[in-house]
């Protein structure tokens, strides 16, 4: 990769958490990074940190579940940064509830952000990857794909993303494009903080309790996931495709 023409990566949901850590890591790896989140203003911190470290970044506001906003965002990124050949579908939300209390809205919002969002973003970016005859797609699944109480919507979406990933690998492989999924366990972010709040448990206790169940005796940090993304999008990972790696500090969720 020459410094004059860095490859362009898009990370969705990159205003904070795993997405922000991934955007910063990919910038450090030499990519120009589009930091996509619902609100462009919210991407400011991530963009500034990347630029402060000497990297190149562009903050873009878009709801990944909206087809028009997705196309406009990808067009703008292609025009201002260059053709996006790396896509990390990381934007996510939870609307946890036991099945009998789960509303249609809880179901639809989670499906729309994770599944529709990843579909729309990948469809908009694949053209650039195919033209470049090189590309990398990384989708954020979850250990919840294996089933998790109170998460019928989220676990269905995260399991769905695994099937989506494997099909992308089959369809896009001949164009030099790989697709892989990462299924994180407990990662310390605003998302897990919100879960603790909903359960009425102080976050510190929630983290401690989770760590006691994890073989490496700690919870994950956003950088743990960013490291794995960095591997999947690297030049040398071109023969690894359609895989799901569980990054959970142990063999089981
Ligand atoms: N934290 C964990 O323990 C954990 C575990 C497994 C999987 N994951 C997955 O990793 C990803 C990142 O999680 P996180 O913990 O960093 O969450 P987070 O809540 O801290 O960050 C998610 C980001 O996505 C953005 N977002 C939400 N809806 C969007 C939309 N429609 N369009 C664009 N952006 C949108 C949010 O604004 C936010 O900045 C998610 O897909 C999540 O499901 C997280």
pLDDT per residue as tens, the chain (253 positions): 445 689 999 999 999 999 999 999 999 999 999 999 999 999 999 999 999 999 999 999 999 999 999 999 999 999 999 999 999 999 999 999 999 999 999 999 999 999 999 999 999 999 999 999 999 999 999 999 999 999 999 999 999 999 999 999 999 999 999 999 999 999 999 999 999 999 999 999 999 999 999 999 999 999 999 999 999 999 999 999 999 999 999 998 6
| Nearest-CA residue for atom 7 of ligand 1 | 142
What confidence tens digit (pLDDT) does each residue in 89-142 have? 999 999 999 999 999 999 999 999 999 999 999 999 999 999 999 999 999 999
Which residue among 93, 116, 118, 191 is best mutated to probe the pocket of ligand 1, counting the most ligand atoms within 8 A of its Cβ?
191
* Helices and strands in the chain: count of H runs, count of E runs: 9, 7
- Which residue lies with its CA nearest to atom 31 of ligand 1? 63
Residue nearest to atom 1 of ligand 1 (CA): 187
Count CB neighbours of 177 within 10 A: 25
E-strand ranges in the chain read 8-12, 32-37, 57-61, 84-89, 135-140, 177-184, 244-247
* Residue 252 confidence (pLDDT): 81
Domains located in the chain, CATH noted:
8-185+221-246 (3.40.50.720), 188-219 (no CATH)
pLDDT for res 166: 99
CA 107 → CA 64, 143, 150, 157, distances in Å? 16, 19, 12, 9
pLDDT computed for residue 65 by the predictor: 98
Question: For atom 19 of ligand 1, which residue has the closest CA?
Answer: 191
| Ligand 1 center–CA 116 separation, angstroms | 15
| Nearest ligand 1 atom to alpha carbon 141 | 7
Give the residues surrounding ligand 1 with Cβ less than 6 Å away.
Answer: 12-13, 15-19, 37-38, 63-65, 90-93, 113, 117, 140, 142, 184, 186-187, 189-192
Contact predicate 86/26, CB 8 Å: yes
- pTM summary value: 0.98
Catalytic residue IDs: 154
d(Cα 229, Cα 226) in Å, to the nearest integer? 5
């Amino acid at each position: 990769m020459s410094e004059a023409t860095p490859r362009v990566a898009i990370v969705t949901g990159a205003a904070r958490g795993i997405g922000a850590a991934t955007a910063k890591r990919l910038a450090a790896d030499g990519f120009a990074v589009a930091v996509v989140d619902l609100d462009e203003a919210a991407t400011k911190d991530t963009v500034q940190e990347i630029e402060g470290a000497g990297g190149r970044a562009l903050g873009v506001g878009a709801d990944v579940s909206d087809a028009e906003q997705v196309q406009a965002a990808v067009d703008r990124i292609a025009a201002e940064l260059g053709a996006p050949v790396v896509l990390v579908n990381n934007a996510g939300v939870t609307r946890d509830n036991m099945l009998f209390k789960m509303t249609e809205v809880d179901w639809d919002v989670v499906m729309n952000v994770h599944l529709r969002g990843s579909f729309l973003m990948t469809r908009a970016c694949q053209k650039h990857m195919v033209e470049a005859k090189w590309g990398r797609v990384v989708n954020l699944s979850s250990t919840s794909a294996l089933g998790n109480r109170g998460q019928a919507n989220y676990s269905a979406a995260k399991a769905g993303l695994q099937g989506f990933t494997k099909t992308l690998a089959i369809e896009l492989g001949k164009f030099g494009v790989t697709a892989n999924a990462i299924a994180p366990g407990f990662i310390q972010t605003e998302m897990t903080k919100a879960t603790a709040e909903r359960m009425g448990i102080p976050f510190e206790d929630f983290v401690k309790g989770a760590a006691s169940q994890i073989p490496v005796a700690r919870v994950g940090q956003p950088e743990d996931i960013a490291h794995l993304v960095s591997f999947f999008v690297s030049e040398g990972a071109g023969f690894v495709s359609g895989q799901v790696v569980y990054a959970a500090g142990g063999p089981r969720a």
